[in-house]
Each structure stands twice: as structure tokens, then as C-alpha cells.
Structure 1
Amino acid sequence: MTQPLTGVKVLDFSTLLPGPLCSLLLAEAGADVVKFERPSHGDEMRSYEPRADVDSTNFVLLNRGKKSVAIDLKSPAAIDSLVPLIEEADVLLEQFRPGVMDRLGLGYANVAKINPRLVYCSITGFGQHGPKANQAAHDLNYVAAAGMLALTAGTDGKPGLPPALIADIAGGAYPAMINILLALRQREQSGTGVHLDIAMADNLFAFQYWGLGAGSRGQWPRPASDLVTGGSPRYQVYRTADGAFLAAAPIEDKFWANFTTLIGLDAAALARLSPADATAAVATAVAMHTADYWMDRFAGHDVCTSRVVSLEDAAADPHFAARHLFDRTVRTAAGTTMPALPVPIAPVFRSTSQELASPALGADRALLRP
């Protein structure tokens, strides 16, 4: 079966995580992605640790199946050398601050004159306009600015560090991919491209739909006070006798009834307590036995409770092995292989090739016009 994005040509001027992950998703669906990098040392991600040969494992995972062109975009000859690629491209992806591509001569207005069918996608933290548009920031800053980080605060009031780059991926890479696909579909109807303004901070509010809904009725969420912020015994992490942890989310009454019965408590009695006291009662019950004991006791029952495991243990879980999550590999420019990054592209849309390479810096320089 032909991949859905076969024949789609993508010019990727982005670096680090949001843009490269977006173009990885496009590449995994069949797009031809050309990555443009600085001649001296390329994408900064190449220098991160740990390394897989010359490049970092991060770079290798995010750039599987792409081409690399090393080019100094500030060079007077850069635009001329890029014109043939722009003329035949379908998508241009960039991640600079607003105005940078314009100063380089590669802004949307300029490239649209060369190729009016081009889908031009700009990923930034705060968007192309607004008071914070040119503010320097990273993932943690966007999560903080969008009101999400405050909801992780513990009993001492200090917010916790998110273990995932939520804004970069969920607010940047994924929305960019979605909107690029929508723009390509619209282009089939209109014949013209569009400039997409993807703001990572903007896109975090959808994840807080429940808080916005409550806030519209004057009930703005607070840390440790609402269902998913630690204010309910039905959505908590509990410590076991051996120092392990259980993630318990028996929200619905049927699951809560099963859970409380199995840990030796009465759901009706817990309902008469305050949420804090009910949580303490459950914590005391769970702490009486080990994690293995509880997982054995819960086996075969619907309790929406999981053991908290490490990433190492999760990657070795037989369930994910049965789903072939880590079967594909990526080959470094020097020939070393490692498991490829599992991406949310359905297997039916992906290449039949189990192994693709990550590009060496500037390996595809020949693509430029002399």
C-alpha cells in the first residue's frame, strides 16, 4: 500500500524537538523530508548526551528517515540555492522567533511568491503576534504561562517539574502535524497554500478543558483540590509497604466499589469523610501490603489501578512487546543501530522498512542548486 504522504516534499528549518518531531511524523507517513542545518555543527540536538556514535541519541531518534543539507542561511547566495527546492516543496516547517525568517528572506510572503501552493508552518512558543511573541522561553515556561504548572503544586506550595516536554510535543509537534495535514487537504480544494501559526502555549489550554469549564462558573481549579490535581481519593498515587507506588484512578462508582472492597474498606463509610480523610484512610490501607500483593489481589478485577514502574521496566513490558512498539530500528550515520522512537502513526500508514537511517550532517548537499 502506498503511504499517505508519498510524494509530499517537506523543507524542515526547525531544530531541537517540536519541529523535528513533527517532520518525523510526516516522514514516517511517507513524506520526503529535507532538514536544513548550520554548516559548522548542525542542529544543536546533535551535541546532546548520551551519544550514538557522532550524534546524540536524541537527534538520531528524531531524525530517522530524513535528508540533511548544511547551509548558511545568512549567506547572500542561500536563497538562490534554495529556490528550486521551494518551487517543488509542499510544506515548509520553521521554528524561529517571529520575524527571523523574514529577515533571512524566507518569510511566508517571499516564499509564497515562489510557490503559492506551499503550506508554511511556523512553530513558536507564544505565536506570531501578541505581547509575549518574542519572549525567550522553553517548555517549562510555556507550561507555567498557560496555568498548568501551578496545578502540580504539593503541600508546600511548590509546583513540580513535569517529567515530559508537554508544550513541545503536545502543544507544538502534534498540532503542527494536524494542521499541516488539514492545510494539505484544503489545498486540494483551493489550490493555494497557507501560513500556519502554531503557538505551543496556546495549545496547552485544551488539556485543561475541565479547569476552564469550572472557571467559567467561578470555580477555578486549585492544586490538591480537584479530581485530577489530588483532591480526591479516587485519583491518587499511594505508597505500598515495600516503598513502591500504585497509581489508583477508580473514578467511576463501579470501579471505586471494587477497589475499596479489595483493600478492605467500605465505600459508603468513606463517602461520609472529607476527601482528605478518605484519602488518608485509603493510604493507610494500601500501606499495609506490598505492591506485588496488591497487584495479585487486583488481578481479574476492574479497579483502574496500576503499579508505578520505571521507563526501563515499561520498555520491557510484554504488553508493549506484543504490540511491536520497539521492533523498528534507526541506523546512525556510522552504522550503529538502536530501537526507533515509537510514534503515533498507525502501522498501516508506515513504511514496510523496519530500519531507516538518521542523516549525517550535510550528507545531501547535492540537493541545492549550485
Structure 2
Amino acid sequence: MTTIRPLSGVRVLDLSTLLPGPLATLLLAESGADVVKIERPGQGDEMRAYQPTLGAASANYAVLNRGKRAYAADLKQPEQRDRVLALAAEADVLVEQFRPGVVDRLGLGYEQVRAVNPDVIYCSITGYGQYGPLAARAAHDLNYLAEMGLLGVVVDSAGNPPLPPTVLADIAAGTYPAVMNILLALRQRDATGEGCHLDIAMTRNLQLLAYGYFATHQGGGGWPAPGDELLTGGSPRYQVYATKDGRHVAVAALEQKFWERLAQLLDLPEQYLDERGQERAVVGVMGDLIGAHTADHWRKVFDGEDVCSVVVATFEEAVAAGLLDIHSDDRLTGEGFDVGTLPSTVDPGLRRPPGRLGYPSLDPLPTGPVWPSR
């Protein structure tokens, strides 16, 4: 079977590091794009040094950068910078993740690249956008979630916001908007012949994840009370309850038919079936009922039932259940690692480790051609 690679022939120059940009260019590479990643000489991308390793580099680096080629170039050295600019002149897409103004000072900003490549799609990923009082501020995922208000909508019993389970801003507000807009820009260029500068501001893009809170506010419902909304802890129908053996059950029985069936399975007293006005009391009763039995008990009770309630699984359990796909047999090289974005019949060329990269050194950017001739 031949896998269709919709971005075959698209050239991507990746100047980004760590997560949002490299994950975006990984998704482009998995769709057939030829991605060339530029890293600083010596240590390269910081993520190379993370632990544990997967082959020559860190596991994180190997997963995010497989299927790409990478070269070392000191962008502060004019000769090496000019070589990278020459690559940019041949690229369809350039992805960068510097703070605003840095690439301009290096000589690789949008206007400088556009001067040699008028139809380039130039994607900048930042925390706060290219302009405004916060544009140059240093921050990470947790800071973006905190500053735009999303981190505080769920709180624990002491009123403290918990750490999120993953880097939401980097991926949902950085990587995905970048990929989506790059694809749209490529489509637009096909129609108009014009490139563009994409300004991906992670903090602003997080508003999409908070759409319901803003819709409620605009509809006159005010701003969310921490831990007190339908999906943030205010309803017994949407909660995480502890089991007798220290595990947890995730209940999301929002619809009435699911809630009524769950109440039957739990032997919830009829007086608590309508939870309106007594939400906290019903949460307590539900907690007692679920806490009286083990996770395995509830797993068997919920099996085959439409109640939108499940035991909170470990990663090991999720893999065993076939919900996650990990090719651990290729651990030593990183080759064959599947992040799940393409079917298992994917072109073998996509299942290769990240370029010919020494660790911790990098191959210098060659003076000869890097892109194949079109």
C-alpha cells in the first residue's frame, strides 16, 4: 500500500527549538514535507540534553525531530547566517520561535526573508504575539495558562489551581494553530501566489480552549467561579471520585439518560437524582458510594453500560487496552516510533530517527546544496 503524502515537495526550514515549533514541523514532515532544522553549534536544541535518552539524543528530542534533517549554524556569524538565508530563499515555509525582534536583528526576519523569497510562508510562534507590552516577556506554558485566566478555573479543596496534566498552551495554542494556518496559507498561495507572515500568539490562542467561559460572559452569565462550573467541579455529574483502593473514577454523565442509569448502578437515593440546588451534597453522597468499592469493582460495573463513567487508567493500562500505540522494540534508535498521526502503513521513510545527528555535536551546515532540485 502506498501512503499518500500530501505535502511531498514542500520545503520547511525550522529555526525553532523545544516543543511548539518542532512538533509543528514534525506533523508537516509526517505529511511528506522536507524539513531542515537549524540548531546552534555544540549543544544544539536544548531538548537534546533531556533525560532519558532514545538512541543518541533524548527521547523527547527523538520523538519531536525524527524524519527531519538538522544542521548546526551560528546565526550570529554573518557567513553562516547568509547560508541559512540562502536556504530560506528556497523554502516554502519557515518556522521560528524566537522572541519578537530577535530574528530581525539576526538578519532572518520576515521582511529580510521575503526580500529573497516573496512567496514564503513565514510562521512565528511566540507567547504573546509580535507586538504589545508583553511581547518580549520570557514565559512558559504554565505562565500563559495563568495569565489568560484558564489555570484558575479549576481548584482543589483548598482553593489552589492544580498543575495541568500536559503543556496545553504549547500544543493546543502553539503547535496546532501553527500547522492549521500553515496549511491554510499554502492553500491560499496556490490560489494567489502570495506568501504571508503568520503570527501565532499562544496566550491569545488559548481563548479557544476557554470558549465556553467567554460565551457565558458575553451572554450575561458573568465570569466563571473557580471550581464551581458544570465542567470544573460544580456538578456531581462531572467529577473525579476516589475509589476504596486509592484509584479514581471519572464521571461525565451529563445527559439525563446517562445520569439516571449511573444513579441506578450506584444505588443513589432518589432524593439526590435531581441535584439542582444540592450539588455539593450529591457530590458527597456520590463520593461515599464510589469510595465504598475498588476500581476493579467499578470497572466491571461500568462494562457494557452507557454511563460515561470510567476508571482513571494508568499509561500502562491504556497501552494494554489498545488505546495507545508505542513501538518500544525500536527504543535504541528511535526508529519506528509512531506518534499516531498516520496509519501503521505509513511510508518507511517517515519512520526514521532524527537525521544524521551526532550527540552532543552537530554536522555543520554544508556549503553545497541542501534541498534537492525541484
What TM-score, normalized to structure 1?
0.92
CA distance in 2, matches of 1:181, 1:349: 23
Question: Could you say which residue in structure 2 is the equivalent of 1:56?
Answer: 58
1:326 and 2:329 are equivalent in the alignment:
no
- For residue 333 of structure 2, the aligned residue among 325, 333, 336 is 336
CA distance in 1, matches of 2:7, 2:303: 43
1:301 CA displacement: 0.9
1:341 CA displacement: 4.7
1:255 and 2:258 are equivalent in the alignment:
yes
1:363 CA displacement: 3.8
Question: Could you say which residue in structure 2 is the equivalent of 1:300?
Answer: 304
**Residues 261-288 of structure 1: per-residue CA shift (max 9 Å, x gap):** 0000145533155110011111111111
1:347 and 2:343 are equivalent in the alignment:
yes
CA distance in 2, matches of 1:64, 1:2: 19
CA distance in 2, matches of 1:129, 1:157: 34
- For residue 131 of structure 1, the aligned residue among 127, 130, 133 is 133
CA distance in 2, matches of 1:53, 1:349: 24
1:326 CA displacement: 2.8
CA contact 1:60–1:330 (8 Å) conserved in 2 = no
Question: Could you say which residue in structure 1 is the equivalent of 2:124?
Answer: 122
Flag the 1:186–1:48 CA change in 2: closer, same or farther, 3 A.
same
CA distance in 1, matches of 2:145, 2:152: 9
1:289 CA displacement: 1.1
Which secondary structure does the structure 2 equivalent of 1:247 belong to? strand
1:240 and 2:233 are equivalent in the alignment:
no
CA distance in 1, matches of 2:335, 2:269: 50
Which secondary structure does the structure 1 equivalent of 2:200 belong to? strand
CA distance in 1, matches of 2:368, 2:10: 18
CA distance in 1, matches of 2:336, 2:310: 26
1:276 and 2:280 are equivalent in the alignment:
yes
**Residues 40-69 of structure 1: per-residue CA shift (max 9 Å, x gap):** 110000011112343111101100100011
Question: Could you say which residue in structure 2 is the equivalent of 1:70?
Answer: 72
Question: Could you say which residue in structure 1 is the equivalent of 2:366?
Answer: 366
Question: Could you say which residue in structure 1 is the equivalent of 2:225?
Answer: 222
1:265 and 2:268 are equivalent in the alignment:
yes
CA contact 2:63–2:334 (8 Å) conserved in 1 = no
CA contact 2:335–2:351 (8 Å) conserved in 1 = no
5+ residue gaps, structure 1, are none
Flag the 1:338–1:66 CA change in 2: closer, same or farther, 3 A.
closer
Question: Could you say which residue in structure 2 is the equivalent of 1:356?
Answer: 352
Question: Could you say which residue in structure 2 is the equivalent of 1:192?
Answer: 194
- For residue 172 of structure 1, the aligned residue among 137, 149, 174 is 174
Which secondary structure does the structure 2 equivalent of 1:179 belong to? helix
5+ residue gaps, structure 2, are none
Flag the 1:31–1:329 CA change in 2: closer, same or farther, 3 A.
farther
- Greater mean alpha carbon deviation, residues 251-260 or residues 293-302: 293-302
2:61 counterpart letter in structure 1: F
**Residues 177-234 of structure 1: per-residue CA shift (max 9 Å, x gap):** 0000000000011101100000111111111111111112142112221011100000
Flag the 1:349–1:148 CA change in 2: closer, same or farther, 3 A.
farther
Which secondary structure does the structure 2 equivalent of 1:277 belong to? helix
- For residue 87 of structure 1, the aligned residue among 56, 64, 89 is 89
1:350 CA displacement: 4.6
Which secondary structure does the structure 1 equivalent of 2:322 belong to? helix
Flag the 1:208–1:172 CA change in 2: closer, same or farther, 3 A.
same
CA distance in 1, matches of 2:368, 2:175: 27
CA distance in 2, matches of 1:329, 1:136: 39
2:365 counterpart letter in structure 1: R
CA distance in 2, matches of 1:367, 1:181: 30
- For residue 287 of structure 1, the aligned residue among 275, 288, 291 is 291
CA distance in 1, matches of 2:305, 2:144: 40
CA distance in 2, matches of 1:171, 1:330: 31
- For residue 212 of structure 1, the aligned residue among 194, 208, 214 is 214
1:347 CA displacement: 2.6
1:366 counterpart letter in structure 2: P
CA contact 1:238–1:245 (8 Å) conserved in 2 = yes
1:348 CA displacement: 8.8
State the superposition RMSD in angstroms: 2.2
Which secondary structure does the structure 2 equivalent of 1:134 belong to? coil
The alignment-based identity, stated in percent, is: 47
CA contact 1:27–1:33 (8 Å) conserved in 2 = yes
Flag the 1:159–1:117 CA change in 2: closer, same or farther, 3 A.
same
CA contact 2:98–2:126 (8 Å) conserved in 1 = yes
Which secondary structure does the structure 2 equivalent of 1:65 belong to? coil
1:36 counterpart letter in structure 2: I
Which secondary structure does the structure 2 equivalent of 1:320 belong to? coil
Question: Could you say which residue in structure 1 is the equivalent of 2:46?
Answer: 44
Flag the 1:50–1:348 CA change in 2: closer, same or farther, 3 A.
closer
CA distance in 2, matches of 1:298, 1:114: 61
Which secondary structure does the structure 2 equivalent of 1:197 belong to? strand
